[in-house]
Amino acid sequence: MELFKTIAFTHKTTDLKDIGRLHIDDEELEARLSHLKSAMGIDELLYVSTCNRVEFMMVSEEEVDEPFRRKFFTAFNPEWSPKEIEWATHHSRTFEAERSLRHLYYVSSSVDSLVVGEREIITQVREAYEKCQKLGLTGDRFRLLIRSAIETAKQVYTQTQIAQNPVSVVSLAYRKMREVELAK
């Protein structure tokens, strides 16, 4: 458990328009992530990229402190300027050990989503794992963890009412607008 680490960019830390800076096109995925894994001495690497988040989940003995993140983002995109590396270093959230595992469960269950209760994230996490597994970036630790996270997310969706009324900023604003109009 202590070896699991996460570097996350989400709607909570980063403007959505900037999250795209961290997206890797499919044709570059293998080369970029294999280089990153090798350069950083990471045992396993899982890359999740959606429209409102990018997550680098890893198995590593290294502490994910500021110097590690600087080196990580330099390896992630060697063409980035020092200013872009500083941006990434300071706009990421990091999770280690139990907090990293808990974060994955929250993400998979959409508790940490921009739209709480949306079901798409569980598919996105599973597909990201399958891609990284096919590229040889993950191993048994992530295989077991992802299986558990997906099973837990399914339980959350079926045993709670989280997915019955997905809540987004837009839906809340619309409800408030309707209340104001009805009160007139």
3-state secondary structure of 52: coil
Q: Which two tokens stand for residue 82?
A: 């020092």
The residue type of 184 is K
CA distances to 24, 65, 135 from 27, rounded to whole Å, are 8, 30, 12
C-alpha closest to that of 132 among 41, 71, 65, 55? 55
Give the angle subtended at the CA of 162 by the CAs of 178 and 128, to the nearest 5°: 115
Q: Which of 51, 172, 173, 177 is catalytic?
A: 51
CA distance 121 to 71: 29
DSSP code at position 43: S
51 is catalytic: yes
Residues carrying an active site annotation: 51
